[in-house]
Amino acid sequence: MNIQALLSSHFANAMTHVGVDSGADPVIKQSSKPQFGDYQANGMMGIAKKMGVNPREFAQKVLDELDQSQTLNGIVDKLEIAGPGFINIFLNGEFLAKSAQTARTDEQLGIAKIQHDTIVVDYSSPNVAKEMHVGHLRGTIIGDSVVRTLEFLGNKVIRANHIGDWGTQFGMLIAYLEKFESENGENASDMALADIENFYRNAKALYDKDEQFAETSRQYVVRLQSGDEAMLAKWRQLVDLTMTQCQALYDRLGVTLSPKDTMGESLYNPMLKDVVESLKKQGLAVEDDGAMVVYMDEFKNKEGEPLGVIIQKNDGGYLYTTTDIAAAQYRKHTLNADRVILFTDARQAQHSKQAWGIAKMGGFVPQDFEMVHHTFGMMLGKDGKPFKTRSGDTVKLADLLDEAIERATALINERQSDLSEQEKQAVINAVAIGAVKYADLSKNRNTDYVFDWDTMLSFEGNTAPYMQYAYTRVRSIFAKAGVNGDELTGNIIINDDNERALAIKLLQFEECLITTAKDALPNTLALYLYELAGVFSAFYEHCPILTADEPIKSSRLQLADLTAKTLKQGLELLGIKTVERM
């Protein structure tokens, strides 16, 4: 159910009947105040102005047309012109009741799978032999929530974990792994990479001080790139070990990425030569100091001189940008994507503009192929500086999650409860992981956000524990009533303003999901769920459920049931687990 879309189409239809060009938008919005109705049509003034007619008279004409065609009968109780030409729309209670009833018994909660795009979503994308750190956390969590929402709306999503698994550093890493194994025994690789960050650092240190090791490393890169089996085997070992560790984190976090989603840089390596050739042939890449460079009009330095983007170094090596040009082509033509969404932090904004700009210039994808880069701000500590450990190191994700569990354990143990030990563990896990994810998801991704254990683990405010608790409160009504949502029958009846407000809020779930997906802003969904919990609280306070007489009792139970289902589904789309009791 999408009230906004329903009203839009009826208004648009009426507008064409009174002489407006088709395609004009009546601008239907949820009203901000009850006296303005439930929805408003705000587009009349603009359209009237364009047509050179009086806005209020024009609005009246549209209303007369709607009246005559009777298309809004049973949907709307009252339409009223306000101010300079707004139309306030008051929805019909029976319509709301019926719609809520339909949504409640539908497994998609009445939300049709209306979108059918094939969308490549590039997110998480860590690097081999480097541990995933908090910098990858935001992209992983936000990307995963957007992916879930896009799929829920019906799209086909191809997850692309664009891991950094290729490049000159692999010569060094392979050489170091080999050395480590020769010193510590054949099966030492697990041990070597147990602390993957350290492994990388030690390899780099040796590379910098030991010329012979550096020479071996350089030879290994050449061998690796020419497809030497022994080198490839070691390289695969490094990739597998890293990805096993990442997968363990995805599983802990409840992120839907799996090994089959890995499409790392190495996948595109065989395509890079052709990319450069083609750009050269088209005269778009030119030689500069032995390197191949593309100049783009959009990129100039302070003096107004064009800034070149290097796509091949003078030693023949390719770059991060070259790979992304090939990736764009692959996604469009091999994966048949309708569009591409990329999540990384804001520092890569220029990179994607360049790579995608060149991909379009060179004809690797059509000019109108939609590729959107959703960036996000940094995760800050309470001191307002980039989030680091006390000693100034980047925080490892695994350690962060351990701490979350520790803190959630203390929090849950403080509370009185009759939960079994097993239930308690499930609650702790849901709260710990939920808190870390929700703290991020509930904020607008465009801003930096302060990572603060105390606020994220509070039962007050827009937090995971609050939302998870709100869900259990609704569920507890059913435990007390001794009924199951599926057994409920009868009609939803709307008499009270609080019932009405709850029904409308519930029926706005689809509108919320569409906006969430369109803007890739999960905080929209988080806010909606938080508000829904608030509207439900008001309803529960004013409309007794268990002590009400039938048929009111069953009706209110049904509203509570749809609330529980919506909260659960909404949290699931954010990737946040719910529990039945806390």
* Residues forming the site for ligand ARG (CB under 6 A): 122, 125-127, 162, 164, 324, 327, 342, 344
Q: Which is nearer to ligand ARG, 161 or 217 (CB)?
A: 161
Candidates 320, 316, 318, 326; CA nearest to 164 is 320
Q: Return the number of other C-beta atoms located less than 10 Å from residue 46's C-beta.
A: 15
Q: Which is nearer to ligand ARG, 36 or 268 (CB)?
A: 268
Measure the CA–CA gap between 355 and 524, rounded to whole angstroms: 30
Consecutive H or E run containing 343? strand 339-345
As given in the structure block, the two tokens for residue 350 are 């220029």
Length, in residues, of the chain: 582
Give the 3-state secondary structure of residue 354: helix
Q: Which is nearer to ligand ARG, 125 or 523 (CB)?
A: 125
Alpha-helical runs (H) found in 331-420: 349-361, 397-414
Q: Which is nearer to ligand ARG, 127 or 216 (CB)?
A: 127
Minimum CB–partner distance for residue 396 and ligand ARG (Å): 15
Candidates 436, 400, 129; CA nearest to 254 is 436
Minimum CB–partner distance for residue 276 and ligand ARG (Å): 18
- How far is CA 226 from each of CA 221, 222, 342, 483, rounded to the nearest angstrom? 9, 6, 30, 67
Q: Which is nearer to ligand ARG, 139 or 570 (CB)?
A: 139
Minimum CB–partner distance for residue 421 and ligand ARG (Å): 40
Q: Which is nearer to ligand ARG, 137 or 224 (CB)?
A: 137
Minimum CB–partner distance for residue 125 and ligand ARG (Å): 4
As given in the structure block, the two tokens for residue 45 are 């003034």
Measure the CA–CA gap between 433 and 454, rounded to whole angstroms: 14
Measure the CA–CA gap between 446 and 307, rounded to whole angstroms: 27
Minimum CB–partner distance for residue 533 and ligand ARG (Å): 35
Q: Which is nearer to ligand ARG, 89 or 342 (CB)?
A: 342
Candidates 249, 183, 172; CA nearest to 216 is 172
Residue for token pair 């290097």: 310
Minimum CB–partner distance for residue 270 and ligand ARG (Å): 17
Q: Are 342 and 373 in contact (CB under 8 A)?
A: yes
Burial class (CB in 10 A: 0-12, 13-18, 19+), 392: exposed
Minimum CB–partner distance for residue 164 and ligand ARG (Å): 4
Q: Which is nearer to ligand ARG, 156 or 351 (CB)?
A: 351
As given in the structure block, the two tokens for residue 446 are 């465009």
Minimum CB–partner distance for residue 163 and ligand ARG (Å): 6
